[in-house]
Structure 1
């Protein structure tokens, strides 16, 4: 009886659970989900976009500027003054010189404010400035 229990103790000491393949599989799944996930940039405020029949989709935008119907300007989910738009755009373009600017203006926002924001973006050095619109029906 002692010999059998000694043999069992010897066998249990050599048993190990190899979790290296499990860890490898978890990392592979993590990389898969990071690569396939699409991150959507938003302005941080609820905006009702105007519709346009010629609206096209842009996938690579660096800077989103939101203008609400209450004439507030939002960049990176924070409210900024019209005088700070140029500095924010310059900073973002310094990080990514090939970046583009998309102005997401509410359809009830003031046209003069939208033009002032566009002008500040151009003065900051942005060469590609667009205005967002929802695709409308073609007549």
Structure 2
């Protein structure tokens, strides 16, 4: 029932001024408290050491695999492509070096098994650092 026939209802408006006032107070509080947090940091001067940088480079063994399954280890061609022969060649290429990095340069058309043979031979002789050489896509 509408007893006030002649009066129209006014649209309600939300007053944003008090909201803006509260937000400004919060911003001021955050700015003041953040400057105090910086004051509590410790000023530490770390000591320096005059250590010699290591002059020896890490040992790298390059293994090449062509599309026909032939192997070249450190510029020496292998006649036998078995896993044991590849492992022996890796050990001779490493010499007395410990933890060499083996870089496998496999032809794009080389079989998957040829690459797996090199990885298995490296695992059998205890070399765990293996990486693959690739080309960027624009060199085709």
With the length of structure 1 as denominator, give the TM-score of the two structures. 0.50
Q: In structure 1, the residue corresponding to 2:99 is in which secondary structure?
A: coil
Give how far 1:95 is off: 2.2
1:120 is matched with 121
2:8 is matched with none
1:31 is matched with none
Give how far 1:117 is off: 1.2
Larger radius of gyration: 2
Write out per-residue CA displacement over residues 106-125 of structure 1, whole angstroms, 9 at most, x where no aligned residue: 00001111111111111111
- How does 1:2-17 map onto structure 2 within 5 Å? none
Give 4+ residue runs of structure 1 displaced > 3 Å after superposition.
Answer: none
- Find the aligned partners of 2:99 and 2:114 in 1 and give their Cα distance: 25
Write out per-residue CA displacement over residues 61-90 of structure 1, whole angstroms, 9 at most, x where no aligned residue: 510010011111111222212231101112
Give how far 1:94 is off: 3.9
The RMSD of aligned alpha carbons is: 2.0
2:62 is matched with 64
Gaps of 5+ in 1: 1-58
Write out per-residue CA displacement over residues 13-62 of structure 1, whole angstroms, 9 at most, x where no aligned residue: xxxxxxxxxxxxxxxxxxxxxxxxxxxxxxxxxxxxxxxxxxxxxx9551
Q: In structure 2, the residue corresponding to 1:87 is in which secondary structure?
A: helix
Give how far 1:132 is off: 1.2
Distance 1:133 1:60, change over 3 A: farther
Q: In structure 1, the residue corresponding to 2:119 is in which secondary structure?
A: helix
- How does 1:40-59 map onto structure 2 within 5 Å? none
- How does 1:23-102 map onto structure 2 within 5 Å? 62-80=60-78, 81-83=80-82, 84-102=85-103
Gaps of 5+ in 2: 1-56
With the length of structure 2 as denominator, give the TM-score of the two structures. 0.50
Q: How many residues align?
A: 79
